[in-house]
C-alpha cells in the first residue's frame, strides 16, 4: 500500500468576529465545538430547519454571525442544498436537522450525496441520552438512529460524553475533508448540546494515500505498451483535469465518461469520445484505466475477458478490485497518480488517434440525429450558459440527453446524483449550488420531479439565491410513460400522467420571475434573461413526448461470457 500524506488545511480568512473573544473567555459547550468545526471547515452557511432537540445549538449559532443559517422548508431540501453546495465547490457544506422524522426526511439526500461524492457534514439532533433505545416513544424517537446514519455516510459520530466531544467533532471534521468525498454525520442528544466541554476544534488535518511507486511503475509499463488504451473518468478525477489530459495525450488514450466526471476532459477535445462510441471501441480496447471511477457501467454491461487489462486509480480502496479483474490498483488521489504515471512513462511516440475518434463521433452524430428536440435543447443551453456555469441534472429527459450531447468543458459544471438516480432532487440541489457560488447555475428538471422540492423556491426568495430552474413540462413522468408504451402498448400506460398547477401562477405566488418557452429557439432568450436576473427564476418549457435515448446509453455486451449469452 502507498504511504499516507497528512497536511494541514489553512484556516479560511474571514471577517473579524467581535464575539470570538467573548466566546473564548466563557466556557465552551458542545454546541460551540460544532460551530467551531463548521468555521474551521470554511463553512459560512448552514442549510437547516431548527427544532426543539437542537434549540441549544441554534442559541449558540446566534453568536456566530459569520455562519449564515439558510432556512429550508423541508429537511430533504436542506440536505439537498448542502449536497449541491458541496458538489459545485468541491468543498464541505453542512446541514442541520432534528432527529427521527427530520433525519429520515434528509436521508434520501444523504444517500444521494453518498453516490454523488459530496463532502456533506450532517449535524443531526438526538433524543435525550437516557431515553435512547428504551422505546418510550419520546418525541422523534427511533430505535437506532445511528444504525441508519452508518448506512448513509462514510462515518457516523454520536456525541454522548462532553469530555470527548471536541476530539469526536475534530475526527468528523478531519474525515469530511479527507479521502473519498462522502457525507459524515455528527449526532448530538438534546441534553448534551449545552454541556460544558473542554478542548478545542482546530483546522482539519487532511490525509490522503500517496501512490505506491511499485504500482506506478507496473501501471506505467502496461499503459506505455498499450495499443488501444481507454480512460474511463469519474468524479474522483475532478481535481485532476490537467494531468488527466496530459497523460491521455501522451499515450493517445480514448477518454470517456458516463454521468460523473463530465468536464474533466472537455468533450470538444480530439481524444474525448461519448459513451456510445466508447462502446464501439470496447471490443478492441486492450488496456482500460479507471480514474476516479467505479467503471461499473462498461465492466458490468459491456463485458470483459482475458485480453482486457484493467488498471484502477481510486481514493476508495474498496473500488480497486471490486470486479475481481484488476491488474494494477493504485490507491491514490487521481492527480498525484496521473502525474506520477507521466513521469514514469517519460517521452513516448504514439500515433495520433484523433482521426479515428473524429470518425466515430461523426457516426455517432448521424445515429443520434433523430433524438430531437433533446439535442437542440442541449445546444440551446450550452449556447447561453457560460463555460463555468453549472447544470444540475434531475432525472429527466433533457438530463439523460445531456450525458450524450451537452458540451462539458470544465469540471464541476454538471452536477448529478450519480448511482442514486434521485428523482426530484434537482430544484433543491440547484438552489444549494447557487448559494455556494457566483457562477450561474441551471437546474434541468422535469415536471414530474419538480414538485418534489419546488417549495424550496421560498428559501431561494427569502435568501435571495439567484438560481435558474428550467422545468420541461410534458404533464407526465415522461420516461415512465414512454417505457410503458414501448413495452406494453399505448393503451397500457398507468400512473404516469400528471395534472400540474399553472406554473406561471406558482412562480408568481413565490415572487419568482417566470418565463415560458416551447422550443430551443424560445428557450435561448428566456434563459439568457434569467441568468441576468438577480434572484430566483423559473422557466417552463412545454414539450411533447420525446424519442428514447436509452439505446445509446444502455448498450449490450461485446466481450467475454456476457457477450455470448
Q: Among candidates 308, 303, 293, which has minimal Cα distance to 258?
A: 293
Does 565 reside within a domain?
A: no
Q: Give yes or no: residues 148 and 177 share one domain.
A: yes
- Average pLDDT of span 321-329: 95
* pLDDT tens figures, 226-269: 999 999 999 999 999 999 999 999 999 999 998 899 999 999 99
Spatial distance between the Cα atoms of 348 and 206, rounded to a whole number of angstroms: 35
Strand ranges across the sheet with 441-446:
414-415, 390-393, 441-446, 468-473, 537-542, 513-517
* pLDDT recorded at residue 18: 39
- Average pLDDT of span 30-48: 98
Domain edge (last residue) among 208, 230, 257: 208
- Average pLDDT of span 531-542: 97
Cell reading at 5: 500524506
Q: Give yes or no: residues 385 and 344 share one domain.
A: no
Strand partners, 126: 189
Q: Give yes or no: residues 202 and 109 share one domain.
A: yes
Q: Give yes or no: residues 385 and 516 share one domain.
A: yes
* pLDDT recorded at residue 564: 65
Q: Give yes or no: residues 447 and 341 share one domain.
A: no
Does 26 reside within a domain?
A: yes
Phi, psi of 254 (to 5 degrees): -70, 140
Q: In this predicted structure, which of 189-203, 369-383, 422-436, 547-561 has the lowest mean pLDDT?
A: 547-561
Please state the domain count of the chain.
3
| 224 membership: H or E segment, kind and range | helix 213-225
* pLDDT recorded at residue 13: 40
Q: Give yes or no: residues 193 and 46 share one domain.
A: yes
Contacts of residue 560, defined as CB under 8 A and 6 or more positions apart, other chains included, come to 303, 304, 305
Does 398 reside within a domain?
A: yes
* pLDDT tens figures, 65-96: 999 999 999 999 999 999 999 999 999 999 99
Q: Give yes or no: residues 338 and 418 share one domain.
A: no
Confidence of residue 293 (pLDDT cuts 50, 70, 90): very high
Share of the chain above pLDDT 70, in %: 95
Supply the DSSP symbol for 535. S
- Average pLDDT of span 543-551: 94
* pLDDT recorded at residue 477: 94
Does 229 reside within a domain?
A: yes
Phi, psi of 13 (to 5 degrees): -75, 130
Does 465 reside within a domain?
A: yes
* pLDDT recorded at residue 560: 87
Q: Give yes or no: residues 392 and 460 share one domain.
A: yes
Asked if residue 561 has pLDDT above 90, the reply is no
Domain that holds residue 254: 213-360
Domain edge (last residue) among 307, 332, 360: 360
Indicate the angle between helix axes 426-436 and 75-89, nearest 10 degrees: 50
* pLDDT tens figures, 509-519: 999 999 999 99
Average pLDDT, whole number, for the chain? Answer: 94
Q: In this predicted structure, which of 10-19, 209-218, 543-552 has the lowest mean pLDDT?
A: 10-19
Q: Give yes or no: residues 351 and 402 share one domain.
A: no
- Average pLDDT of span 122-148: 94
- Average pLDDT of span 506-535: 97
CA dihedral 48, 49, 51, 56 (to 10 degrees): 20
Asked if residue 123 has pLDDT above 90, the reply is yes
Confidence of residue 565 (pLDDT cuts 50, 70, 90): low
pTM of the model: 0.93
Q: Give yes or no: residues 75 and 217 share one domain.
A: no
Within a 13 Å sphere around the CA of 110, how many CA atoms are in the beta-carbon half?
28
Q: Are 540 and 471 in contact (CB under 8 A)?
A: yes
Q: Give yes or no: residues 178 and 234 share one domain.
A: no
CATH of the domain at 65: 3.40.50.970
CATH of the domain at 223: 3.40.50.1220
H helices of 319-446, where? 334-345, 354-367, 374-384, 397-405, 426-436
Q: Give yes or no: residues 546 and 492 share one domain.
A: yes
* pLDDT tens figures, 42-56: 999 999 999 999 999
Rounded (5°) CA angle 393-443-260:
25
Amino acid at each position: 500500500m502507498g504511504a499516507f500524506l497528512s497536511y494541514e488545511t489553512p484556516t479560511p480568512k474571514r471577517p473579524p468576529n467581535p464575539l470570538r473573544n467573548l466566546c473564548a473567555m466563557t466556557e465552551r459547550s458542545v454546541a460551540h465545538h460544532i460551530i467551531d468545526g463548521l468555521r474551521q471547515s470554511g463553512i459560512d452557511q448552514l442549510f437547516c430547519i431548527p427544532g426543539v432537540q437542537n434549540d441549544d445549538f441554534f442559541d449558540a449559532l446566534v453568536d456566530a454571525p459569520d455562519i449564515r443559517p439558510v432556512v429550508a422548508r423541508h429537511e430533504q431540501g436542506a440536505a439537498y442544498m448542502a449536497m449541491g453546495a458541496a458538489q459545485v465547490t468541491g468543498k464541505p457544506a453542512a446541514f442541520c436537522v432534528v432527529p427521527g422524522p427530520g433525519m429520515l426526511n434528509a436521508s434520501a439526500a444523504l444517500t444521494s450525496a453518498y453516490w454523488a461524492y459530496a463532502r456533506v457534514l450532517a449535524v443531526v439532533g438526538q433524543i435525550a441520552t437516557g431515553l435512547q433505545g428504551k422505546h418510550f416513544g419520546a418525541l422523534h424517537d427511533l430505535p437506532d438512529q445511528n444504525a441508519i446514519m452508518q448506512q448513509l455516510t462514510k462515518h457516523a459520530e454520536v456525541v454522548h460524553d462532553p469530555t470527548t466531544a471536541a476530539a469526536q467533532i475534530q475526527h468528523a471534521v478531519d474525515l469530511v475533508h479527507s479521502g473519498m468525498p462522502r457525507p459524515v454525520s455528527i449526532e448530538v442528544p438534546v441534553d448534551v448540546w449545552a454541556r460544558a466541554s473542554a478542548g478545542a476544534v482546530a483546522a482539519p488535518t487532511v490525509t490522503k494515500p500517496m501512490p505506491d511507486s511499485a504500482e506506478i511503475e507496473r501501471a506505467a509499463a502496461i499503459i506505455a505498451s498499450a495499443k488501444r488504451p481507454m480512460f474511463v473518468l469519474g468524479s474522483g478525477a475532478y481535481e485532476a483535469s490537467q494531468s488527466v489530459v496530459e497523460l491521455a495525450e501522451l499515450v493517445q488514450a480514448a477518454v470517456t465518461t458516463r454521468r460523473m466526471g463530465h468536464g474533466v476532459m472537455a468533450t470538444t477535445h480530439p481524444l474525448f469520445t461519448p459513451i456510445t462510441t466508447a462502446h464501439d471501441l470496447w471490443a478492441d480496447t486492450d488496456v482500460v484505466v479507471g480514474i476516479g471511477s467505479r467503471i461499473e457501467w462498461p465492466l458490468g454491461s459491456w463485458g470483459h475477458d482475458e485480453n482486457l487489462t484493467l488498471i484502477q486509480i481510486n481514493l476508495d480502496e474498496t473500488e480497486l478490485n471490486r470486479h475481481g479483474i484488476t491488474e494494477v490498483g493504485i490507491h491514490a488521489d487521481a492527480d498525484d497518480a496521473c502525474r506520477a504515471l507521466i513521469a514514469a512513462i517519460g517521452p513516448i511516440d504514439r500515433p495520433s488517434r484523433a482521426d479515428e475518434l473524429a470518425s466515430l463521433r461523426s457516426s455517432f452524430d448521424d445515429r443520434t440525429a433523430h433524438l430531437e428536440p433533446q439535442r437542440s435543447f442541449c445546444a440551446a443551453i450550452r449556447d447561453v450558459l457560460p463555460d463555468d456555469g453549472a447544470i444540475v441534472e434531475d432525472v429527466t429527459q433533457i438530463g439523460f440527453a445531456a450525458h450524450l450531447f451537452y458540451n462539458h468543458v470544465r469540471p464541476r459544471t454538471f452536477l448529478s446524483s450519480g448511482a442514486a438516480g434521485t428523482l426530484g432532487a434537482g430544484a433543491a440541489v440547484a438552489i444549494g449550488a447557487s448559494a455556494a457560488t457566483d457562477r450561474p447555475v441551471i437546474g434541468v428538471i422535469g415536471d414530474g420531479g419538480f414538485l418534489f422540492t419546488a417549495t424550496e423556491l421560498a428559501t431561494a426568495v427569502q435568501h435571495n439565491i439567484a438560481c435558474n430552474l428550467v422545468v420541461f413540462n410534458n404533464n407526465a413522468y415522461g420516461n415512465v410513460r414512454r417505457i410503458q408504451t414501448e413495452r406494453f402498448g399505448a393503451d397500457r400506460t398507468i400512473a404516469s400522467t400528471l395534472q400540474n398547477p399553472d406554473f406561471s401562477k406558482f412562480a408568481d405566488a413565490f415572487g419568482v420571475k417566470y418565463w415560458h418557452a416551447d422550443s430551443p429557439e424560445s428557450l435561448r432568450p428566456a434563459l439568457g434573461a434569467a441568468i441576468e436576473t438577480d434572484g430566483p427564476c423559473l422557466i417552463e418549457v412545454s414539450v411533447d413526448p420525446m424519442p428514447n435515448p436509452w439505446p445509446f446509453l444502455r448498450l449490450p455486451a461485446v466481450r467475454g461470457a456476457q457477450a455470448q449469452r
